[in-house]
Amino acid sequence: MFKPRAIDSEPALYDAAVKILARRAHSVSDMKKALIRRTADESLIQKVLARLKQNGLIDDARYAKQFARQRTEIRHQGKFRVARELRARGVPDRHIESAVEAAAADSDEAAMIRQRIDRKLRLFRGEIDERKIASLYRTLLRAGFSSDTIRAELVRATKEALPEVEAPDEIE
């Protein structure tokens, strides 16, 4: 496996950090992990992180808002999944909550769920049975949507998808 060369000066480590940020945005925790791979000097890492924060190159609040907006608007993921992924990236909960709420305010969770359900129902072959509905439910849960909204939209979708049959007249 490729091991980057050890960096022993602050300017060189700062330049490496800027190159890392040029590829994509990182949380403070992600950046610290990336710098640890490049040097073992903890004080050097702290100096570079402080300088990056001072220059406005890394900011967990801005990163969380950008990440949440991108995941909800482009990938159509629910707020629970976005929050879980941000926690895994080391973003503090106070930033996660505000970013997820801001992204949720700009998007319609029920519409995203309906869109995913409609797409899946078109792909299903054969009769739509309880197993397929359960599979779809689990898929939507993993996507980070709330269970109450998923259930409501699944009921709506399956009622509309199945044709209603009139009951035969009672035999006398």
In which band, very low, low, confident or very high, does the pLDDT at 172 lie, cut at 50, 70 and 90?
A: very low
Mean pLDDT of 27-43: 93
Residue 121, pLDDT score: 85
Q: Output the pLDDT for position 33.
A: 94
Q: pLDDT class for 6, splitting at 50, 70, 90?
A: confident
DSSP states along 19-64: HHHHHS---HHHHHHHHHTT---HHHHHHHHHHHHHTTS--HHHHH
Measure the CA–CA gap between 129 and 7, rounded to whole angstroms: 59
pLDDT of 161: 53
What is the residue-averaged pLDDT of the chain? Answer: 88
Judge whether residue 122 has pLDDT over 50. yes
**Structure tokens of 51?**
């300088």
> How confident is the model over 78-100, as pLDDT tens digits?
999 999 999 999 999 999 999 99
pLDDT at site 168: 47
Residue 116 to residues 19, 21, 44, 74, 85, Cα–Cα distance (Å)? 37, 33, 47, 13, 20
pTM: 0.80
> What angle (nearest 5°) sits at the alpha carbon of residue 85, between those of residues 78 and 110?
0
Which whole number is the average pLDDT over 119-148?
89
Q: What is the percent of the chain with per-residue pLDDT over 90, rounded to a whole number?
A: 72
Per-residue pLDDT reduced to its tens digit, 95-120:
999 999 999 898 899 999 999 998 98
Over residues 47-71, mean pLDDT: 96
Q: What is the DSSP string of 77-124?
A: --HHHHHHHHHHTT--HHHHHHHHHHHHHTS-HHHHHHHHHHHHHHH-
pLDDT confidence of residue 55: 95
Both tokens of 100, joined, read: 């997820």
Percent of the chain with pLDDT over 70: 90
